[in-house]
């Protein structure tokens, strides 16, 4: 855990949940999170299972401080908000070794509100 003098980043004050998804390990590519049928976030990963189950789905206190993982906190909190409101989040995945280029292209084309 960070020291008491390290400030929280802008998503560090949010509330969080824990979640896991059943995914085989080692899937590299690009993913899209869709909220009630609309694209809300696009990302890339070396391992989809680790990205979700050890990143977005499991927020540790150190992630909440500056120098931590603000994207993990942001996505986890948004998933929690959608769930509490009775909404639905779907995960779509495209396996590719060109993940960074594909992610960039999709973000430009889709302008997902949770990115950036």
Whether this prediction's pTM lies above 0.85 is answered by yes
Q: Are 45 and 51 in contact (CB under 8 A)?
A: yes
Q: How many domains does the chain have?
A: 1
Assess if residue 15 is contained within a domain: no
Q: Are 30 and 101 in contact (CB under 8 A)?
A: no
State the distance between the two ends of the chain, measured CA to CA, in whole angstroms.
Answer: 26
* Domain of 74, in residue numbers: 29-110
Assess if residue 18 is contained within a domain: no
CA dist 13 and 45 (Å) reads: 26
Question: So what's the pLDDT on residue 38?
Answer: 95
Assess if residue 44 is contained within a domain: yes
State the chain's mean pLDDT as an integer. 94
Assess if residue 99 is contained within a domain: yes
Assess if residue 7 is contained within a domain: no
Cα dihedral: 56, 58, 61, 64 (round 10): 10
């Amino acid at each position: 855990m960070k020291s008491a003098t390290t400030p929280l980043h802008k998503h560090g004050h949010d509330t969080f949940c824990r979640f896991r998804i059943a995914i085989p390990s080692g899937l590299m590519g690009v993913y899209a999170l869709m909220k009630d049928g609309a694209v809300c976030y696009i990302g890339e990963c070396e391992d989809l299972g680790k990205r979700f189950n050890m990143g977005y789905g499991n927020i540790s206190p150190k992630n909440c401080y500056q120098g931590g993982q603000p994207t993990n906190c942001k996505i986890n909190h948004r998933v929690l908000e959608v769930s509490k409101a009775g909404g639905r989040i779907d995960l779509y995945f495209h396996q590719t070794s060109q993940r960074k280029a594909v992610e960039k292209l999709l973000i430009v084309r889709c302008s997902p509100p949770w990115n950036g």
